[in-house]
A and B are shown apart, each in its own frame.
Chain A
């Protein structure tokens, strides 16, 4: 086992009845990084996290933390702490006692304990709140207490189970950035699970996209976004437009796909073994679509559509267009270069085939 990784798992399996909630998952998290596991609810990410925390035991596979095998180690003996989804702050203890709970278990003397509690509260930006009750704090403050309660123990690994889910949108955006800073500041390895792709993208060094108990792709956020490895990742991470059709030709890694209405679109081949005649799906991001009046470079692919409506949302404004019954979204630039669009008007959308990705159709 490589000792420079804080966490490494190989072939983890956890079955409930006949259903494998975690299905042969292997992962390797380097020390001091922010690792996210992203997936829809029911994909097995919570089960995986519980295996890492020790609340559940894998049916197969091994968990190593800093090179030590953890399979048989109970949760209270693992160098791992967890921030729970609903934080699980002890309501019968003050903030200081909540943070001191773990230190007490480690037999840290009282004076030292007080010092460390004060220091960690300072670090998370809540100085001198030791004597308050958790119920008196705001959502964001409770979040930080939950973090402090774990970080004060200096764990090798900090597990976070969608802790931002309960916060309102504005606070969530703020906490995202703060969490990332705190991770850098403490240098602790974070394993974060979420179904919110924006949380995963903003905070992580590496993101694993999980589906049906398996990792679909493990990559840095940018790679995940630009070069999704599977149709699921392409559809799940960020907004995407999907066009289904039949491959007519493949040349220089660019496939031409004929849609059901006869239009031919092109994009970069993303899955192996794509041959003419195969069913395929082309994914193109809304921001990669340009309006033909503004840019019609040579070699670009294009599609005739009909405008349905425009959706104004500041920098994220989009136009909803329709081609052969299929809805397509394109980003509307807000710098004045967007053409005036009228509902039911004709619109030609075009793109650089290098930015589109063509996958063999997933059996559905």
Chain B
């Protein structure tokens, strides 16, 4: 009796999680996997086949976009890490009392607005008639308006900005837990700044670095709004390809195949990253 009640309440507690995983993650992905292997022979007949995947490899535009998205995402992740590390170091190690909370809040507040609003914020700054352009003209450094949007740099700026918080949080958490005397011991035993950073601080912060990188990389790879708004129609982000197939071309089979490929790419890169840094997912995600 008692055990059946406790079992029932266990299922009740698990239900939202299970429903979420099954209905919103598992089923759509399996469905997509199935669709991606279906080849439309005529308007009402479907056959199994690899045509969509062959298209991906034979049509250079697809895989070029694919590689470009992967490389730019890796670069964005790396840049985010470089920018976030000093911020996290300052918040975790140097800031005291109130200023610690305020700084953390300052990182968090932009994320109260949606990605769309944040991206428009950057567009106001960077566009031809935007703030930076008019300042440059006012200072007399340029003759006419300067268009700073619609290039790769703008896309990366937007992506780094969107990823920053997700890098700062795990880094602050790991750096916060580091004993100050470890750093002091690093110096005391003869190490310089570079050595202490390389041999003591970074190995300690590795779980935070890896988990931050995974999250930022996934976010970047799968982001849609920022590349399309800040990169314009030439931004050639892979998610756009998927969107085009599903919505514009109504070619769900091709869209599904591209979606599966993106999932495989991101999983593969995350796995590779974990292997290279000698971390395990269990350790990284706590």
A interface with B by C-beta (< 8 Å): 53-55, 74-77, 80-82, 84-86, 88, 90-93, 101-102, 105-106, 149-150, 153
* B152-183 interface (Cβ within 8 A of A): 179, 181-182
Closest to A102 in B: B189
CB of B59 closer than 8 Å to a CB of A: no
On chain A, the residues within 8 Å of B189 by CB distance are 76, 81, 101-102, 105, 149-150, 153
Q: Does B203 contact A (CB under 8 A)?
A: yes
Q: B residues near A, CB below 8 A?
A: 179, 181-182, 184-192, 195, 199-200, 203-204, 206
Complex Cα–Cα for A55 and B184 (A):
8
Closest to B204 in A: A92
Q: Could you say which residues of chain B place their CB within 8 Å of the CB of A77? A: 190
> Which chain B residues lie closer than 8 Å to A82 at the CB level?
184-185, 188
CA distance A339 to B186 in the complex (A): 59
A88 x B182 contact (CB < 8 A): yes
17 contacts between A and B (CB under 8 A): A53-B184, A54-B188, A75-B188, A76-B187, A76-B189, A76-B190, A84-B181, A84-B185, A86-B179, A86-B181, A88-B179, A90-B185, A91-B182, A92-B206, A101-B189, A105-B190, A105-B191
B179 contacts which chain A residues (CB < 8 A)?
A: 86, 88
- Cβ contact within 8 Å between A105 and B187: no
A-B contact count (CB 8 A): 63
The 8 Å CB contact of B181, one of A75, A88, A106, A153, is A88
Q: Which residues of the other chain, A, contact B188 by a CB distance below 8 angstroms?
A: 53-55, 75-76, 80-82
Q: Chain B residue with minimal CB distance to A91?
A: B204
Q: Is the pair B195, A105 in contact by a Cβ cutoff of 8 Å? A: yes
Are A102 and B190 in touch, CB under 8 angstroms? yes
Chain A residue at minimal CB-CB distance from B190: A105
For A105, the chain B residues whose CB sits under 8 A away are: 189-191, 195
Further 16 A-B residue pairs, CB within 8 A, beyond A76-B190, A105-B195:
A74-B187, A75-B184, A76-B189, A76-B191, A86-B179, A90-B182, A91-B182, A91-B204, A92-B200, A92-B204, A101-B189, A101-B191, A102-B189, A102-B190, A106-B190, A149-B189
Q: How far is the CB of B191 from chain A (nearest CB, A)?
A: 5
Chain B residue with the shortest CB-CB distance to A74: B187
The smallest C-beta distance from A184 to any residue of chain B, in angstroms, reads 24
**In the docked arrangement, what's the CA distance between A102 and B191, Å?**
7
Roughly how many angstroms separate A85 CA and B179 CA in the complex, as a whole number?
11
**Known contacts being A76-B190, A76-B191, A153-B190, is A84 close to B204, with CB within 8 Å?**
no
List the B side residues contacting A75 at CB < 8 Å.
184, 187-188
List chain A residues, Cβ under 8 A from B181: 84-86, 88
> Is B190's CB under 8 angstroms from A88's CB?
no
